[in-house]
Structure 1
Amino acid sequence: MILNNREQLLLQLLLEQTEFRPASFFQKQLNVSQKTVYNNLTTLEKKLKDSGLAIKKVPRKGIFLSGSESAKQNGYRLLAKKETKLELFSPNYRKIFIFANYLFSVKPMHYQEFSEYFYISNQSIKKDVDEIVAFCRFHQVSTKMTTSGLKLTSVESAAQNVFKSFLEKYTDAKASENLLVNNLFDSKVLDLTKKFVSDMTQTIGHPVNNYSIESLKLSLRIFLSRLLIDKHIEKQEQLVFDELRRMKFYMIAVDFSEMIQQQLPVQFSDTDIQYVCSLLLAHGIEPFGQMDEPHESTITNCTKQIIQKMSHMLNADLTQDKLLLQTLLAHIVPMIHRSKTGILLKNPLIKSIKKQYSTMYTLTKYAIGDLEERFQILLTEDEVSFLTIHFQLAFEKIKITNHILIVCQSGFATSELIFNRIKQTIAADTVLEIIPLSKLASTSLEAVDLIISTIPLDITAPPVIYISPLPTTEEIGRISAKISNLNENEKNFYSKKYQKTTLLQKYLDPTFLFVKNKFRTKKDVLDFLADDYLKKKLVTTKFKHSLFEREELGSTGLKTGVAIPHADPHTVKETKLAFLTLDAPITWGDTKIQLIVLLAIAEENMIEAKELIASIYGLFNSAEEIQWIVNSQTQEELYQRLLRGGN
């Protein structure tokens, strides 16, 4: 099931509400008429029919979305499904068409011609152009409206990159195969780029992921379409070009230029050939045999340092994983080049990665700080999410040892019987230990993952499975399933031992809790918190800049209604958490936020980062839990609710 943009916004508003709201509330939020609200509710209701969610409309009371917690979680998953289907006369395709016409035509169409083509008013066309201009401005690309249409006045590579970003905003990862998108390009350009990329990927000697292939084809098509109207790439840094020559890309680019010049009325300049080399490197295309050559030592050393830092934070040795080093190097070399040249590679799974592997994603952002500083780059959230997957896969390969206690009152023989039956069905790396009930109270359970008992126990953690003195096959199966779940939870940082409030309490200070504030913008919130930390001498003067810089690369707001901004650990003198609630939700990226958690972790405390971050994410699993925190009326109430954790 795919929802359109309006339906997604409406569903998000419904999911965020904890009580009935009048239609006027949704009218104001969506900036539409009440009639449109009711029409959208009707279509949304049909699409949610089998989802377990129901839209209740009660006269004089309002509108409310009912359903179980799991159904609402599935509702949030629907928000991640972006409507990427383009239709010929849809507003999305119209904007892409207008932008492409300005970019690829010698004589672009005028407003009236666009209007007649799409059967809409000149005013609607003007709004589309205004959106294109705003998008370019946001990406630091300047524009100018002339008598012959919209002109992009920034350097040529920036103009091509911003159009690609605009195109990817409204299409899926396979934009290069979309028929309507392909209509924007000359048919020869389509055929030549498809053949070139296909032939090259078959001869380079190693696989290339589909995202990179689709992205490369799209970049080449945009480049050639501009070349057809005599738009050439600006001069690049000589240092980059020397590196590309050394990596044997040059002859591939020259062969490509000669093939294109035979088929199309274009001429390649030296900077155009250089740009083709740059695109190949940025998309991870390396000539045959090149993968076995040693990478530049500085990059290798930086990569090893990242692995060491992640090992330290995860409390797991990843340094012996040679495959991890190789795959990271294969990704980081083109990644650095992409970051330096402004070439974008979108990760279509980014929302899922940030949600499912939120702790690993945050740790990865902390680990890459030295690499960013060394190469003077800032990695986008797409790049960070690619790196996150490498570390998650490496972490999941590490065997986890579970420690299980068997408590039995019936005697040693019964305990041994239970021990032997369980041992036959579990992995060899699970440690089983028998303990008498008399010694349980004096035994530390900190390292224990599970207790199996034949008698009632007065403990809350770790989890306890109760079985009979002579366990049945079903009971043994239940134990095996529980141990399997322990392994899965550990690898995803959901284990209870990572959600204890002891570590949270260590860095939680009531003076850093701010209740029911009236800030109306993200900037106001970050300014207030950063200035407060600086005034209390917890951070350096670079902290605020780092905070805003990180936020620009990708919003830290989560769909559940909480934002977790953070800065480079090098700018933090003393680890401290701040929790700030708002009297009303504000826009934070593409979501609404009413709770902000400022995560300031100093370098010396990075070993505790995993547990601390997992504890914070563990507190906020749903919109209901966040609303419970937000409803705190006083500083003390907020403090106690954070320590209690969960509604």
Structure 2
Amino acid sequence: MNKRQVDLFNYLCGGKDYAPAKVLAQQYNVSSKTIYKDIAVLTDAITGFNVQIKKRPRVGIKVNGHDQAKVKAMATLKDMQQEQPGVIGISPTQRRAAMVKAIILQNKQQTLKELSDHWLVSKASILNDIASINDTIAIDNSGIESNGYELQFNGNEEQRQTAVTTFVVTGADEKRLSSSQYLERFFEPNVVKVLRNYFVENQIEWFENVPAYYRFALQIITLVQTTRAALGYHVQIRTLQDPDDDYLSGDSTSVAAHLLKTLSQLLNITFTKWDLDWLARNLSAYRIGPISNGIIPEWWATVKELIARMESLQEIKLPGRKLLQQQLMFHLPAMVLRLQKGLIVRNPLLGDIKAQYPELFGMTWYTGSGANFPR
């Protein structure tokens, strides 16, 4: 008898109506299957107390009996409660974060049974967690898989690091962008502190005009890479189309070298040439470089033209024009640079955007068509 089962019985005893299993499952952060397993345990435990647990399909669960009998049964169940080695009451969000950290980030071997016993939930709940994680990371032919016994990540090192980064960034909201507590769910506190200092607290010229969300994403990319490097794992960059061009931007290589040198000195971690290549490419995708963040001055004219076209089409003046210009100065050059190098990044939400915002999508598409992008 565990604490959740005792709490569940007490809750049902206090209610007058049937409680749907789905509602109970949400309340206790488990699956409906786990609730029914708990009910089966409770049914056996209260035999002889003149109390009955009634189940009605598509209606719910209810405890019938006189109040005195219920009180006696509750007291007995409380005495039967045993200390459990597992964790009760942890939310699905916390379980999934722990699974991503252990299975994908740290390469730990775990089984369905181990996780089920640890969190005192059904294996079905764990499988639901896995499905949710895989939906979030959305990497083709990669994700956490179960062979019915062990759980493991199916994918190469690049996919593994991308999966963790995507999961952490997706789970962050505006409040969490400055929260070390959120990051420490996944990464060691000392590593979080060093990277936070580098990307957030220090006024480094390379990141002066970088939007907070971009800084956060770059911080996560580096946290993942640093954690994996400390474990001895490194991304090996695929050969680019142009053999003479090792990076998307030479400027970003200098930034990456400075960052990895700083981390190596402060954290005593050895980084490789592969690590430098991987970080440089990620920084370049955000146009990070030593001089003006790698932005080509000619882009200002293009960005202003695009905004003017959009305002003309909608016959309005867009608010926050200066901020919009800065955001586009990071988005557009990186997008064109990736296209020039054959690095196609597909937005998984593009179909939904087209369907739900057809007018805005059409205007944006028209505005960008024929634009004179700098070469």
Query: Under a length normalisation based on structure 1, what TM-score does the superposition of the two structures give?
Result: 0.36
Tell me the CA shift for residue 250 of structure 1: 1.7
CA distance in 2, matches of 1:100, 1:149: 13
Alignment match, 2:265: 262
Kept in 2, the 8 Å contact 1:197–1:213? The answer is: yes
CA distance in 2, matches of 1:258, 1:343: 32
Q: C-alpha offsets along residues 456-502 of structure 1, whole Å, 9 cap, x if unaligned?
A: xxxxxxxxxxxxxxxxxxxxxxxxxxxxxxxxxxxxxxxxxxxxxxx
One-letter amino acid of the counterpart of residue 95, structure 1: R
Which one has the bigger helix percentage?
A: 2
Q: C-alpha offsets along residues 424-456 of structure 1, whole Å, 9 cap, x if unaligned?
A: xxxxxxxxxxxxxxxxxxxxxxxxxxxxxxxxx
Aligned CA distance change for structure 1 residues 229 and 152 (closer, same or farther; 3 Å): farther
* Identity level (%): 18
Aligned CA distance change for structure 1 residues 337 and 219 (closer, same or farther; 3 Å): farther
Kept in 2, the 8 Å contact 1:107–1:148? The answer is: no
SS of the counterpart of 2:236?
A: coil
Alignment match, 2:33: none
Kept in 2, the 8 Å contact 1:303–1:329? The answer is: yes
- Listed as ranges, the matches of 1:184-583 within 5 Å are 184-198=186-200, 201-204=203-206, 206-236=208-238, 237=240, 239=242, 241-245=246-250, 248-264=251-267, 266-289=269-292, 293-295=296-298, 303=303, 306-307=306-307, 309-310=309-310, 313-314=313-314, 328-336=328-336, 340=343, 342=345, 360=360, 362-369=362-369
Structure 2 residues not aligned, in runs of 5+? 1-17, 26-87
Structure 1 residue aligned with 2:185, among 183, 203, 220? 183
Tell me the CA shift for residue 284 of structure 1: 4.9
Tell me the CA shift for residue 336 of structure 1: 4.3
SS of the counterpart of 1:139?
A: coil
CA distance in 2, matches of 1:169, 1:242: 27
Q: C-alpha offsets along residues 183-203 of structure 1, whole Å, 9 cap, x if unaligned?
A: 321223212211221366433
Tell me the CA shift for residue 90 of structure 1: 0.2
One-letter amino acid of the counterpart of residue 184, structure 2: N
CA distance in 1, matches of 2:306, 2:271: 40
Alignment match, 1:150: 152
CA distance in 1, matches of 2:266, 2:229: 13
Structure 2 residue aligned with 1:35, among 5, 13, 20? 20
Question: Is 2:104 the counterpart of 1:103?
Answer: yes
Size of the aligned set, in residue pairs, is 280
CA distance in 1, matches of 2:23, 2:122: 26
Aligned CA distance change for structure 1 residues 112 and 287 (closer, same or farther; 3 Å): same
CA distance in 2, matches of 1:126, 1:317: 50
Tell me the CA shift for residue 294 of structure 1: 3.0
- Listed as ranges, the matches of 1:15-30 within 5 Å are none
Alignment match, 1:600: none
CA distance in 1, matches of 2:197, 2:101: 23
Tell me the CA shift for residue 338 of structure 1: 7.1
Tell me the CA shift for residue 89 of structure 1: 0.8
SS of the counterpart of 1:249?
A: helix
CA distance in 2, matches of 1:157, 1:342: 15
SS of the counterpart of 1:204?
A: helix
One-letter amino acid of the counterpart of residue 364, structure 2: T
CA distance in 2, matches of 1:336, 1:150: 36
Tell me the CA shift for residue 99 of structure 1: 1.9
Q: C-alpha offsets along residues 217-250 of structure 1, whole Å, 9 cap, x if unaligned?
A: 12211222222232222315265644411xx222
CA distance in 1, matches of 2:263, 2:253: 15
One-letter amino acid of the counterpart of residue 105, structure 1: Q
Which one has the bigger strand percentage?
A: 1
Of the structure 1 ranges 97-106 and 275-284, higher mean CA displacement relative to structure 2 is found in 275-284
Structure 1 residues not aligned, in runs of 5+? 1-32, 41-86, 376-647
Aligned CA distance change for structure 1 residues 288 and 123 (closer, same or farther; 3 Å): same
Q: Which has the higher contact order (CA 8 A, sep 6+)?
A: 2
Tell me the CA shift for residue 114 of structure 1: 1.8
Q: C-alpha offsets along residues 321-361 of structure 1, whole Å, 9 cap, x if unaligned?
A: 999767633441234457847599x9xxxx9xx99x99656
Aligned CA distance change for structure 1 residues 358 and 134 (closer, same or farther; 3 Å): closer
Aligned CA distance change for structure 1 residues 343 and 121 (closer, same or farther; 3 Å): same
Kept in 2, the 8 Å contact 1:284–1:330? The answer is: yes
Tell me the CA shift for residue 98 of structure 1: 0.9
Alignment match, 1:27: none
One-letter amino acid of the counterpart of residue 119, structure 1: L
CA distance in 1, matches of 2:344, 2:202: 23
CA distance in 2, matches of 1:37, 1:115: 19
Tell me the CA shift for residue 106 of structure 1: 4.1
Kept in 2, the 8 Å contact 1:164–1:219? The answer is: yes
Kept in 2, the 8 Å contact 1:244–1:250? The answer is: yes
One-letter amino acid of the counterpart of residue 230, structure 1: G
Q: C-alpha offsets along residues 162-202 of structure 1, whole Å, 9 cap, x if unaligned?
A: 33333344442454525254132122321221122136643
SS of the counterpart of 1:285?
A: coil
CA distance in 2, matches of 1:283, 1:229: 27
Aligned CA distance change for structure 1 residues 38 and 161 (closer, same or farther; 3 Å): closer
Alignment match, 2:124: 123
Aligned CA distance change for structure 1 residues 145 and 264 (closer, same or farther; 3 Å): farther
**Structure of higher CA gyration radius:** 1
SS of the counterpart of 1:183?
A: coil
Aligned CA distance change for structure 1 residues 102 and 38 (closer, same or farther; 3 Å): closer
Question: Is 2:92 the counterpart of 1:94?
Answer: no
Q: C-alpha offsets along residues 512-552 of structure 1, whole Å, 9 cap, x if unaligned?
A: xxxxxxxxxxxxxxxxxxxxxxxxxxxxxxxxxxxxxxxxx
Kept in 2, the 8 Å contact 1:168–1:175? The answer is: no
CA distance in 2, matches of 1:209, 1:192: 20
Aligned CA distance change for structure 1 residues 36 and 113 (closer, same or farther; 3 Å): closer
